[in-house]
Structure 1
Amino acid sequence: MNNDRLTDGTFQNLTQKNMTFDQVFEAIVQFIKKDPTGNFTLMFGTDSQVYSKETKFITGIVIQQKGKGVWACFRKVIVPRRMTNLHERISYETSLTEEVVSLFTEEKKEQLINLVLPHVYKGASFTIEGHIDIGCGQRNKTSVFVNEMIARMNSLGIEAKIKPDSFVASTYANRFTKK
């Protein structure tokens, strides 16, 4: 995507490091297979933190079974400069989320849906959300970008969530942006 960033393209969480996307996808499949009758939400979101010589971006992937727990991982991207322009940073956060969402091809999404589909009559469900670390409150500096970023998420066919509902970006990813 961008040549001025530092990443090895791998994912990690608190128990595993250097996971490939295929390993991440397989972990999500196994999480759903444990109880395919549940209500699942696959969520993506990115947050960033500006430091003295770099800007750190964390993109989280979270699969949640409502009332039964989550499995999560993240990918780190370092841009070796201070990104102080808010629109540039929010737009880049959204781009990194879009990049990870795009790894979930139609075939991969279909594979996940097909795990849950036979159980829909028992109340099972599967949804996908893109969490954006912006809010629409009048005092929120990011509110001017809400429509643009929501449109970008919706164009991928996923439901956009903003603060206070964008916890993958504003809480999970945020936690790992701190040094």
Structure 2
Amino acid sequence: MGKEIDSTITFQNLSQKNMSFEQVFQHIITFMKKDPSGNFRLMFGTDSQVFNHYTKFITGIVIQQERKGVWACIRKVTVPRQMLNLHERISYETTLTEEVVSMFTKDHKEQLINIVIPHIYKGANFTIEGHIDIGSGKKNKTRVFVKEMVSRLESIGLKPKIKPESFVASSYANRFTK
């Protein structure tokens, strides 16, 4: 018995608003079935922006077929206060990413993997990544959180990516936080 997905959680992109998780999942399946022998990356990442009276969080879901395009959507969450503590904000970004990833049950992941499996010998591939908007550079204030956030994503089966490779968080989601 799978856990129920919160039906109040909705996703959107430039062409569709108020998508349910199941609609998002169907879009991913359709995208992958178009050319199942591709090299696919299912990526998740969250970014945030602090405003005067609230903090906006955007979680992106991106399915990419290398050199063949992407399908993507976002989830928007607003916290009704300024979240100025950097650790709290980075931790909450990671929590929101984990929350969306958890909607992809074992069954969902198996359905996606099964699209690619017959094409493995033709070079097909499927990876799941968690993108964190933090970096390990000496000047980066977030470098002290890298180990903690990377461990959290590894513990739920994701391949963690930090800056400069975390483009779902630092570029895609970032665009919608403004």
TM-score band by shorter chain is over 0.9
Q: Match of 2:156, as an amino acid?
A: L
Q: Deviations over 1:87-123 (max 9, x none)?
A: 0000000000000000000110000000000000100
Q: Which runs of 5+ in 1 are unaligned?
A: 1-7
Q: How many residues align?
A: 171
Deviation of the 1:9 alpha carbon: 1.5
For 1:127 and 1:101, locate their aligned partners in 2 and report how far apart those are by CA, in whole Å.
13
Query: Does residue 1:74 correspond to 2:77, yes or no?
Result: no
Deviation of the 1:58 alpha carbon: 0.1
Pairs within 5 Å for 1:15-164? 15-164=15-164
For 2:88 and 2:9, locate their aligned partners in 1 and report how far apart those are by CA, in whole Å.
22
Other-structure match for 1:168: 168
- Residue 100 of structure 1 aligns to a residue whose secondary structure is helix
Other-structure match for 1:3: none
For 1:68 and 1:118, locate their aligned partners in 2 and report how far apart those are by CA, in whole Å.
19
- Residue 170 of structure 2 aligns to a residue whose secondary structure is helix
- Residue 128 of structure 1 aligns to a residue whose secondary structure is strand
Deviation of the 1:16 alpha carbon: 0.4
Q: Which runs of 5+ in 2 are unaligned?
A: 1-7
For 1:158 and 1:58, locate their aligned partners in 2 and report how far apart those are by CA, in whole Å.
19
For 1:119 and 1:43, locate their aligned partners in 2 and report how far apart those are by CA, in whole Å.
21
Identity of aligned residues (%): 73
Once superposed, what is the RMSD of the aligned Cα atoms?
A: 0.4
For 1:56 and 1:108, locate their aligned partners in 2 and report how far apart those are by CA, in whole Å.
28
Q: Deviations over 1:141-179 (max 9, x none)?
A: 00000000000000011100000000000000000000x
Q: Deviating runs (4+, > 2 A) in structure 1?
A: none
TM-score of the two chains, using structure 1 as the length reference: 0.95
Q: Match of 1:11, as an amino acid?
A: F
- Residue 142 of structure 1 aligns to a residue whose secondary structure is helix
